[in-house]
Amino acid sequence: MTLIQELTDLINKTDIQVTEHQIQLLVQYVELLDKWNKAYNLTSVRDPHEMLVKHIMDSLMVGEVLEGNSFIDVGTGPGLPGIPLAILYPERSFVLLDSLGKRITFLRQVVFQLKLTNVQPVKSRVEEYQPEQPFDGVLSRAFSSLTDMVSWCHHLIAIEHGRFFALKGQFPHDEVALLPSNIELIKSSQIKVPQLVGERHVLELKKIS
């Protein structure tokens, strides 16, 4: 089965609405990731068919809980979940932040080859990055704890409407209990990723003044 057929079958098991062109872009991204991974070691997932489930579908399913138009994916690595979400939502803008040059080099190539006009890769440490405008949402699956995420990224969103979207496996009861008093857990959504073994949760947090 081709990657396009396989991804189409996976998406058909969900409520996600995509065009044929979007599926082609997602597969092109996987092919680029597979090609660059051999030299750049961007992901521990080596098989492109596995990437469809563990990277593409895992990222796309986050989309159903997002609110807002401008997002920053902190510690994006090879562009996850930012690139799949940017393909799914061309009307939303995504800054992909990472401190490692080879990852940003790869992402610039992805943006160029896939002609993604709503993605901006940025090489920077998160604490040094100062956006011109606050984002509607901070996305990340890179942080070891929720407290780390909100402390390192607090300057990236506005108090009124900004949200942190933390991507986790099992629900992190211990981490939630340790959140600072000015951070509120608004909701937690368990997302179902076709053919993925294990739990997935997206926690939505906000700052309170």
CA angle 12, 187, 182 (to 5 degrees): 145
Strand-pairing partners, residue 207, are 183
Q: Is 31 annotated as a binding residue?
A: no
75 marked among binding-site residues: yes
Residue whose pair of structure tokens reads 């890179």 in the numeric block? 142
User: Would the annotation count 80 as a binding residue?
Assistant: yes
Distance in angstroms (rounded) separating the CA atoms of residues 154 and 159: 9
Strand bridging mode 201-207 / 163-168: antiparallel
70 vs 118: CA distance, rounded Å: 10
On whether 175 is known to bind a ligand per the annotation, the reply is no
Q: Are 55 and 45 in contact (CB under 8 A)?
A: yes
What is the distance between the alpha carbons of residues 189 and 104, in angstroms, rounded to a whole number?
30
Alpha-helix residue ranges (DSSP H) falling in the chain: 3-12, 20-40, 48-51, 58-60, 82-88, 101-114, 146-153, 173-177
Q: Which residues are annotated as a binding site for S-adenosyl-L-methionine?
A: 75, 80, 126-127, 141
Q: Which residues are annotated as a binding site?
A: 75, 80, 126-127, 141
